[in-house]
Amino acid sequence: MSPNNKPKVAFFDFTCCEGCQLTVVDSLQKYPDLLDAVEIVQFREAMTEKGEDYAVAFIEGSCSRLSDEPRLKQIRERAAVVVALGTCAHLGGVNALKYLHPLVDVQRYVYGDHAEWFETYDVRPIDAVIPVDFAIPGCPIDRDEFIACVNALLLGKKPPIPDYPVCVDCKLRENVCLFTQGKVCLGPVTRAGCKAICPTYGQSCEACRGFISNPNDSSMRNVLTEHGLDVDDVTSIYTMFTTYQVRQKMMAEEAKSK
């Protein structure tokens, strides 16, 4: 805590679109008190000042190269609390989609013959590099949930990230289920907290917030197939944001079967 008793917080970004930091800036529209509740000492997207003394570090973005690791470790050493902000930091997010193709192939495809100029390695969520105290999920994060998490930090509580599926919120919003409109949806296995915003706006939930801790995957897959998806489609929808997790799981299963 700083002398004025406000916790010092810092924001850092790695490989991402910076939409989550932008959402933090936008949260000020509804919660101007945020600036009175915490002291922001570093936020590259919005400020020049750089303080290196902080208690809470919000990290946005995935780790996508070896040279990012020391910086992450340094943040971990300095901060009492490290929060993964948004899907890229939390799960790897869309950045991990490139796993679907072998890495070298991807590099060549984009950089042609100069691939070796640009360092990259298997994209990973932040907690694959340093211990993370908790994650605020979402691509992008939900501003109300972000504030609720800051609030919990101030109170010394666990952040109020739900462990129930998106369908709960979707029903409370009285949406017509997408499955009855001839579409598909990952709501039943995805962690809620986004107010079921995608189904509410007529699009399938793509699991940007990751899965609940105890999803019924096989039943979900059956439902998707019954609604006309083939195996490729199911893989496709399951991997939009969670390629890293799906791949980890596959590798673990492979290792187990050996």
Tokens of 254: 């492979």
Out of 188, 191, 244, 245, name the contact with another protein by CB under 8 A.
188
196 binds, among another protein, ligand SF4, none (CB under 5 to 8 A by kind): ligand SF4
Nearer to another protein, 17 or 81 (CB): 17
Tokens of 23: 């959402």
> Minimal distance in Å, beta carbon 86 to another protein?
9
User: Could you say which residues in the range 41-100 bind ligand SF4, by CB under 6 A?
Assistant: none
Q: Kind and range of the H or E element at 87?
A: helix 87-91
Nearer to another protein, 33 or 52 (CB): 33
118 binds, among another protein, ligand SF4, none (CB under 5 to 8 A by kind): another protein
> Minimal distance in Å, beta carbon 211 to ligand SF4?
10
Q: Kind and range of the H or E element at 120?
A: none
Segment near ligand SF4 (CB under 6 A); pick from 60-68, 77-85, 148-156, 195-203:
195-203
What CA–CA distances, in Å, run from 192 to 149, 154, 245?
Answer: 15, 23, 18
Out of 17, 25, 103, 197, name the contact with ligand SF4 by CB under 6 A.
197
Region label for 102, one of left (φ > 0), alpha (ψ between -120 and 50) or beta (otherwise) = beta
Q: What's the CA angle centered on 104, arms 98 and 110, to 5 degrees?
A: 70
Angle between helices 231-239 and 217-226 in degrees, nearest 10: 130
Question: Is residue 130 close enough to count as binding another protein by CB under 8 A?
Answer: no
Note the residue count of the chain. Answer: 258
User: Could you say which residues in the range 116-155 bind ligand SF4, by CB under 6 A?
Assistant: 138
> Minimal distance in Å, beta carbon 141 to ligand SF4?
10
Asked if 41 and 74 count as a contact pair (C-beta separation under 8 A), the reply is no
- Helix, strand or coil for residue 246? helix
User: Could you say which residues in the range 69-88 bind another protein, by CB under 8 A?
Assistant: none
35 binds, among ligand SF4, another protein, none (CB under 5 to 8 A by kind): another protein
For strands 39-43 and 56-60, give the pairing: unpaired
Question: Is residue 237 close enough to count as binding ligand SF4 by CB under 6 A?
Answer: no
Which one-letter DSSP state was computed for residue 216? -
User: Which residues of this chain interact with ligand SF4, rule CB under 6 A?
Assistant: 138, 166-167, 170-171, 175, 177-179, 185, 187-188, 190, 194, 196-199, 205-209
